[in-house]
Structures are given as C-alpha cells and as structure tokens.
Amino acid sequence: MRVRRLSYLIALAQLAALSLAIPITPNTDTTEISSLLPRSEFCSNAPLTPAGTIFSRRALTSSPLHDSLALRSHDSIIWCSRGSQTYVVIQVGWQVVNDHYLTLIDQAYNLAVSQIQAQGDGLLYPLPYGPIGTVFNLDSAQELTMTVMNANNHQTTWGVLGAACWALKDFVASRGPFQTIVFSIYDGVNQVATGRIGRATLATQMRLATRDRSRVGTEPDAHNKAPAAVRSPHFREIVPDTNKRPNLRHPPAPPDPALADYALKIMRASHLSLLAALARLATIALSIPLDTLPSLVPRTRPYCSNAPHTVAGTTLAGRNPPPRTARTPAAGVNNFIYCAQGTQTYVMIKTGWAASNSDVVVELLNQAFEVAISRIARYGDSVVANSLVYGMIGSIVYLTTGGMALRIANTNNHQTTWGVLGAATHALANFVKEHGGFDMADFVIFDGENQVAMGWLGPN
C-alpha cells in the first residue's frame, strides 16, 4: 500500500512539474519559454553566440565557417564585436583587391577611441552636411568615404561606433575588401545606426576639393587625422566570479536520520491532502496544450489583428496566418492593431462608421507611403526633422486628397523616422483595403515597444 501511494505521488508530481516550472509573476518575460518563441540570430564569426549578447574571446572558433555561412556577393552577414554587445549586419558588394578599406576603418576606430580617452563616451551629434541624420563622415585620400547615420529613433555613442568599427575591421581583414559595404549597427537588441563604406559621391568629392583649397598652408584636419598613439582595443570581458562556485571537494552532509523519519511520518499522515493538492496542480498541466503555454505568461503587449499569433512590436513575417474573421471590424467605433510586414512597426487604430470612400483613403495613404520611400531612396532613413508650421503641435505630415486629410504628429517624447512612417502608412493602407473605408480614424504608431506618433484620418 505504501509503495502504491508513493508511485501515485511520483506520477502526479511529474505531471505537476509542467505547471510548477513556469513562474507566473508580473515580471515574467516571454523569453523564458525560449523553445516556443522565435530564436535569436547568431554571430557569423562566433556561431554559438546570439547576436546582441556579450561576445567573449572563448566563443571564437578555430574551425572555418559552415558552408551556409560562407560569404557570397550581395548577402547579409552578422559580425559581432568582441567583448561587447555591439554587432553589425553587413551587406557587401563585389570583392576588390586593395587595403584602403582597412586603413579607413582603422582611422574611424582610432578617432572613436581617442574621443573617449579625451572626453569620455558620449553621443555623436548630427553633422551639417550629408544625408539627414548623419553623425559621422570620414574621407580618405583614395576617394573612399565612411558614413554613419542614426536610425530607429536611437542615437549612436562613440563607444558603440568604436566597437562597430572593430567588428568591421575584423570582418574585412578576414574576408577581404569589397567595392561597397552597407551595414546596420546594433547595440544589444536595438538598431542604433546605418552606415556605408564605398566610393565617395560627386557631392563629397566637390566638398573635399573645396575644403582642400580653403586649407592651403594650414594644418591637417584633426577630424580626419588618426592619432598614432592609439593601438589595439582592450574591451573588458565579463569573467565569472570563482568565489560563487560550489565547493565540490566538501559536499553537504547527509540529512539527519531522525529528521527524515519525522518527515516520513508527516507524509504518511497527510498523504490524502498531498494527493489532492498534486492532482489539482496536475489538472492545470493536463488541461493546457503545449502550444498554448505562453498564455500563462502575462501579456505585456497585444497581438496583431492581421496576424493573431504575432506579438505587436515584433517582426511580422510573411508566413503568418491570415486574420481571423472574428477580428473583422463591425459597425461603430472599434479598436484594432495592424502590423507592418517585415518590420516592428504597428498602428493602433480606432475607426468610426464604415463609409464607401476606401479608394480615396487608400490613395491618400499611398501618397504618404511614396513620399517616405522616395525620401529614403534619395537620402537614406532618418528622423522626420522638420515640423509643420500648421496643424497639431509636432505635426510632421499633412496631406489632403478627395476631401480627406491625413495628419501625423510626433508624440511620447519620440521622433518618427521615414522608415517607420512608410511602414505605418503601408499598414494603414492594407487595413483599409481589407476592411473598407471609414468616415474617420484615430491611430497611434508604435516602433517596437515605443509609441512614436499619433495621427488622424478623416474629412478635410
């Protein structure tokens, strides 16, 4: 009888382990159930290190990269900076034979390190020339230029720039120089900048010629002169505290036999209550399918209405299922969350009564989308800097057509970028195409977890 009771306890305890293993606390993060969520990308130069985590020297591998990670023309590759959480996503052109790229990147790195040594780490401020949002521009005598621009509503620091330059230098040294290099800089999980290394544009060459003519007989520009005293980087790595390791030579003493006998007596006396408690816990584990275990974790962010399995603020991939019919808007005021595919941008929409003006609304939203895309194609992504002198305070967009108007303004102490604006207007256009036009709609634009803008769509 005792053996049977113990077997019941063991069986129920194994079932209850599923529910006990998931802490249900207000601070629980969905990443704790990592096997059920999308995996992180890994560093190409350290395949066992997730991009955005500390890349230690121990993570380096002496074996060559896997064939699937071998560099091909026009492919993107992730390269992490040792000793930091900074990594760069690189897209390269065709290979060329020269060492000018290494020289230019080394100058940029030395400049960042000398700035930190002289004045400490800090933000890079926008330059008065180059594309909007440019914070770093370095030219070489071989008509090469390196440009870095803030992105994703973030600002780049000298420390992150230095770590990114070290990653770029390590990448070029191991894979050879290229005709052009386009890269994105990440600091942990946040993209903070975009950049380019390549042949100087005609405007840059004219600016260099003007600068050189005005500096005849003067000292070289300190901004473009790499300090000779700065050498290899010394990023500090995180070393585990050996004092916290368990002492394996002196294992803990075995439990007191008298105490163990007392505990066994208590278990015998209350075996029925233990069985009932474990049965209640096991019921939770048995009644919840494994694919719905994330529902036990508090939802800090809502899900996309057009992709019910995608958390708003995460990247919406093209393989997500179509929207459920139960989420289709009904008459009256409704709230919806529509996500922009391929980005972390989404809009929270509150619509009014349905109207038969969807073509006009879609045309208006497409105009805003085309403005954003053409701006990015010409100058690169950057903050929509110029606020309008009319409309709402902080207005950055005001378009009208067919008696309808679109207004968008910055909010929540954030600034909207052209990329976020394009993704948001594209998501709004898809929403209207699927569910028809409306006489009015208020919406809020989110970039990941951050609310960056609010807008209004309605009669002019």
Q: Which residues contact 329 (CB under 8 A, 6 or more apart)?
A: 336, 351, 354, 435
From first to last of the 460 residues of the chain, give the pLDDT tens digit: 555 555 555 555 554 444 444 444 444 443 333 333 334 576 766 666 777 677 665 554 443 333 333 333 345 678 787 777 788 888 766 565 566 778 888 889 999 999 888 888 888 887 776 666 788 888 876 678 888 988 888 888 898 999 899 888 888 887 766 667 888 898 888 888 888 887 765 445 545 555 544 444 444 343 433 333 333 333 333 334 444 444 434 444 555 566 556 556 655 655 556 555 555 544 444 444 444 434 333 345 567 777 767 777 777 765 554 444 333 444 444 567 878 877 778 887 876 655 556 788 888 888 889 888 888 888 888 888 765 555 556 678 888 888 888 888 888 778 888 889 988 898 888 888 877 666 677 888 988 878 888 888 877 7
Cα 81 to Cα 42, 56, 59, 120, 368: the distances in Å are 12, 9, 12, 20, 38
Contact 45/171 with Cβ under 8 angstroms? yes
Place of tokens 């941008």: 345
C-alpha to C-alpha distance for 265 and 295, rounded to whole angstroms? 39
C-alpha to C-alpha distance for 112 and 110, rounded to whole angstroms? 5
Cα 206 to Cα 64, 139, 143, 179, 296: the distances in Å are 43, 12, 11, 21, 61
Which residue in 3, 92, 80 sits closest to 45, CA to CA?
80
Contact 281/294 with Cβ under 8 angstroms? no
What is the SS3 assignment for 229?
Answer: coil
State the pLDDT at residue 69.
Answer: 35
Taking the CB of residue 424, how many other CB atoms lie within 10 A of it? 31
Sign of the dihedral defined by the CA atoms of residues 369, 371, 374, 377, in that order = negative
Q: If 0-12 CB within 10 Å is exposed, 13-18 middle and 19+ buried, where does residue 64 land?
A: exposed
DSSP secondary structure letter of residue 321: P
State the pLDDT at residue 145.
Answer: 85
In the chain, what are the helix, strand and coil shares in percent, each to the nearest 5? 35, 25, 40
In 355-417, which ranges are continuous DSSP H helix? 358-379
State the pLDDT at residue 11.
Answer: 56
State the pLDDT at residue 70.
Answer: 35
DSSP secondary structure letter of residue 317: -
In 220-357, which ranges are continuous DSSP H helix? 257-269, 271-287
C-alpha to C-alpha distance for 329 and 322, rounded to whole angstroms? 15
C-alpha to C-alpha distance for 266 and 277, rounded to whole angstroms? 15
Q: What does pTM read for this prediction?
A: 0.37
198-226 burial by CB neighbour count: b if 16+ within 10 A, else e? bebeeebeebbeeeeeeeeeeeeeeeeeb
State the pLDDT at residue 161.
Answer: 92
